[in-house]
Amino acid sequence: MRINNQVKVGLATIVCLITQGYIFSYILGIEPSPAISFAPLIPYVVYIYARGRGVWYYNKPLYWIAVIVAITIIGLAPYVLTSGRLNI
């Protein structure tokens, strides 16, 4: 069974949102800004828009997954570094 590109990007988005929520709730114990919480959804929405336009970067799911993971890490970084609960 072959998974299409939209499902791959969607699954990556869901995994990042769940991981981010788990880290914020159970590891750091804080409530971030809603903008930070929903930031990984922005590339997915742009990806859906690109699908309708038929542009070349629609067929590159690894680029979109990398952007989603990067935005998730960038959103977590300030909270993780200032909390002092994780030794990095």
pLDDT in tens, 30-87: 899 899 999 999 999 988 887 777 777 777 889 999 999 999 999 999 988 887 665 5
Note the pLDDT of residue 74.
95
Report the distance separating Cα 85 and Cα 6, nearest Å: 36
Q: Which residue has the higher pLDDT, 29 or 53?
A: 29
What does the block give as tokens for 20? Answer: 């981010």
Note the pLDDT of residue 23.
93
Contact (Cβ atoms closer than 8 angstroms) between residue 79 and residue 28? yes
Q: Which residues contact 31 (CB under 8 A, 6 or more apart)?
A: 24
Report the distance separating Cα 40 and Cα 72, nearest Å: 6
Query: What's the pTM value of the predicted model, to 2 decimals?
Result: 0.86
Note the pLDDT of residue 52.
72
Note the pLDDT of residue 87.
53
